[in-house]
Every structure is written in structure tokens, then in C-alpha cells.
């Protein structure tokens, strides 16, 4: 489903939306939240990779030889934004187990709400791969925008972003800085509150994934 933001796609598949409601529920346990986030990210991965290029190769079935489709060229690279991004990485890898994985460590300064980088590790051939940035929340948009900027500096030419929920304020920030980068999400929520949290949201994704406060 398209949105008010041209580069943003809202995934309205019934299973995605159902699982998002379970994640939002404050009664969902840490274990349940972790499991559902993994299931949901697997479903979202199907959508974000829908247009991957294919080539035909010859294989032999138990009955005969045939031409069969296979992914063309270099495979994907998933780049979670630490730490919460790891919570939806496993579901992506369930769908594409051959993908490479990079990591970007960012935290949000509680006063300025600006991102601070503390870790970066990417595959050497990042420029040859479709890079999918994964992070549960796109709130102010600053962290995801900073992560994408660093990936571009490293040579990544094809980048997409996957997040569970977004705030319109954050999407405005992100799409202004990176209008060339598609965003895939399950929901564009109402707004940010005074503390930079998405409303109605689902709480702090990292805390709910790992049982911290």
C-alpha cells in the first residue's frame, strides 16, 4: 500500500498487521515479543525483496533437466542498527540465509535526540550488494538517516530500509535527506511525543526485545 510519502510503502498484509497488533500489546511477554518480531520481519522480507533480479540456470530434477530461476549476481546484505535492529535481523536471515550481515552501532543522545555512532562493520563488497537497513522504529528519523549516510560513504549504491513502525515526523526527516532510499514499514503512526517516542507505538523496542528498562 502506498502512503503520503512517495518512497514509503506500508505493508498491509493481514498477517503483518495482525502480528503488529500483538507487538503493540503491553501484555505481550519478552519471549513473545521477540518471537513475533522475528515472524513479522520474515514476512516483511518477502515484500522488500519482491523485485530481486533473476536469471535462468540449468538444473536436473529427479526426472529431467530444466531451466530454473535463480537470484542474479551478488546477494543481499542486511545491516541492523544496534541494538534493537538485531531483533528483526533473524527473521530476515530465515528468508535469505546466504545474505551477508553488517552492523552499525548508534545511540540516541537523550538531550539532543541526535544519533551518536560507536560501531561500524560492513562487508568489503558492500558496493556490489543490495543493502537492507533494519531497525524496528523510525521515530525522529535521525538514526536511520545517519546510518544510510554512512553506508553511502562506504560505497553502498542500492539501499532500502525496513522498520516495523514509523512516525510521520521521522519520515519527513528521512525522506528529505534520502529521497532515493525506499522505506518499507507496517505502520505510519500518529506522531512523536515530547520525549521522541512514537504514539501509539509499541514502547521501546530494544527494552521489549531484551527485557531491559
108 is in an annotated binding site: yes
Beta strand 158-166 with 76-82 is: unpaired
- Which residue matches cell numbers 498487521? 17
Query: Is-catalytic flag, 108?
Result: yes
Which residue of the set 24, 35, 90, 204 is catalytic?
A: 204
109 is in an annotated binding site: no
Are the CB atoms for 92 and 37 separated by under 8 Å?
A: no
Angle formed at CA 27 by CA 25 and CA 29, multiple of 5 degrees: 105
Query: Is-catalytic flag, 189?
Result: no
Are the CB atoms for 165 and 186 separated by under 8 Å?
A: yes
Query: Is-catalytic flag, 190?
Result: no
61 is in an annotated binding site: no
Q: Classify residue 43 as left (phi > 0), alpha (psi -120 to 50) or beta.
A: alpha
137 is in an annotated binding site: yes
135 is in an annotated binding site: yes
Are the CB atoms for 33 and 24 separated by under 8 Å?
A: no
156 is in an annotated binding site: no
Q: How far apart are CA 88 and CA 92, in angstroms?
A: 7
139 is in an annotated binding site: yes
Which residue of the set 2, 65, 112, 194 is catalytic?
A: 112
Which residue of the set 94, 180, 193, 207 is catalytic?
A: 207
Which residue of the set 24, 35, 90, 108 is catalytic?
A: 108
Q: How far apart are CA 159 and CA 21, in angstroms?
A: 28
141 is in an annotated binding site: yes
198 is in an annotated binding site: yes
155 is in an annotated binding site: no
Query: Is-catalytic flag, 94?
Result: no
Burial of 108 (0-12, 13-18, 19+ CB in 10 A): middle
187 is in an annotated binding site: no
Q: Which residues are catalytic?
A: 108, 112, 204, 207
Binding residues for uracil: 198, 203-205
Binding residues: 83, 108, 135-143, 198, 203-205
Binding residues for 5-phospho-alpha-D-ribose 1-diphosphate: 83, 108, 135-143, 204
Amino acid at each position: 500500500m502506498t502512503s503520503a510519502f512517495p518512497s514509503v510503502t506500508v505493508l498491509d498484509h493481514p498477517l503483518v498487521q495482525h502480528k503488529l497488533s500483538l507487538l503493540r500489546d503491553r501484555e505481550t511477554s519478552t519471549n513473545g515479543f521477540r518471537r513475533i518480531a522475528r515472524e513479522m520481519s520474515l514476512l516483511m522480507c518477502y515484500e522488500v525483496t519482491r523485485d530481486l533480479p533473476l536469471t535462468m540456470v540449468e538444473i536436473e530434477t529427479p526426472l529431467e533437466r530444466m531451466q530454473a530461476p535463480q537470484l542474479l549476481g551478488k546477494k543481499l546484505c542486511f545491516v541492523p542498527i544496534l541494538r534493537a535492529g538485531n531483533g528483526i535481523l533473524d527473521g530476515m536471515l530465515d528468508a535469505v540465509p546466504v545474505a551477508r550481515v553488517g552492523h552499525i552501532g548508534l545511540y540516541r543522545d537523550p538531550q539532543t535526540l541526535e544519533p551518536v555512532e560507536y560501531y561500524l562493520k560492513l562487508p568489503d563488497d558492500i558496493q556490489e550488494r543490495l543493502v537492507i537497513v533494519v531497525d524496528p522504529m523510525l521515530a525522529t528519523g535521525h538514526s536511520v538517516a545517519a546510518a544510510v549516510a554512512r553506508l553511502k560513504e562506504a560505497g553502498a549504491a542500492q539501499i532500502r530500509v525496513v522498520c516495523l513502525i514509523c512516525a510521520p515526523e521521522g519520515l519527513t526527516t528521512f525522506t528529505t535527506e534520502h529521497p532515493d532510499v525506499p522505506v518499507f514499514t507496517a505502520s505510519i503512526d500518529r506522531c512523536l511525543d515530547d520525549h521522541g517516542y512514537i504514539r501509539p507505538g509499541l514502547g521501546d523496542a530494544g527494552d521489549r526485545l531484551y527485557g531491559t528498562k
